[in-house]
Amino acid sequence: MKKYLPQKEIIFFIALYFAAVIFFELFRIMFLLRNYNLAEGTPFFITVKAFLVGFRFDTVITCYVIAPFYIIANLPMRISFRRKLSPVISVAIFIIFVFDLCTAYLNR
């Protein structure tokens, strides 16, 4: 009887999720340490709550960014066609995402 092994794509995207969330949390810690003098009077509970809310926000943003690529990776296509089409779709989604971020920044 074969043991169930998850697909390589699932393992890759789960690892990518954890790497992104850890990356965001490390930057949040560095930001807090850099601006410690501004957060000096803040109670510890408020700081912990801010980190938990930040973790939740990072999870949502990471999943929104990863989801289209996960869907593309699991499209039911022939392998040769997927290899040709997947980079094109990935670059198109990336360009749309960057354009969306730029327009959101300019419309502040």
pLDDT, greater one: 48 or 76: 48
Does 71 have pLDDT greater than 70? Answer: yes
Q: How many CB atoms lie within 10 A of CB 6?
A: 8
Mean pLDDT of 76-92: 64
Domain range enclosing 62: 7-74
Q: Does the residue 59 lie in any domain?
A: yes
Q: How many domains does the chain have?
A: 2
* 55 contacts 25 by C-beta, under 8 angstroms: yes
Buried b (16+ CB within 10 A) or exposed e, 59-88: eeebeeebebbeebbeeeeeeeebeeeeee
For residue 1, tell me if it sits in a domain. no
Specify whether 30 is located in the same domain as 42.
Answer: yes
Task: Give the residue from 103, 101, 17 showing the smallest Cα distance to 62.
Answer: 17
Per-residue model confidence (pLDDT) at position 5: 60
- Most distant pair of Cα atoms in the chain: their distance: 60
pLDDT class of 106 with cuts at 50, 70, 90 = low
Query: Is 2 part of any domain?
Result: no
Take residue 104 and report the two structure tokens written for it.
């959101």
Same domain, 35 and 87: no
Indicate if the pLDDT at residue 82 is higher than 60: no
Both 17 and 46 in one domain: the answer is yes
Does residue 50 lie in a domain region?
yes
Q: Are residue 22 and residue 48 in the same domain, yes or no?
A: yes
pLDDT greater than 60 at residue 87:
yes
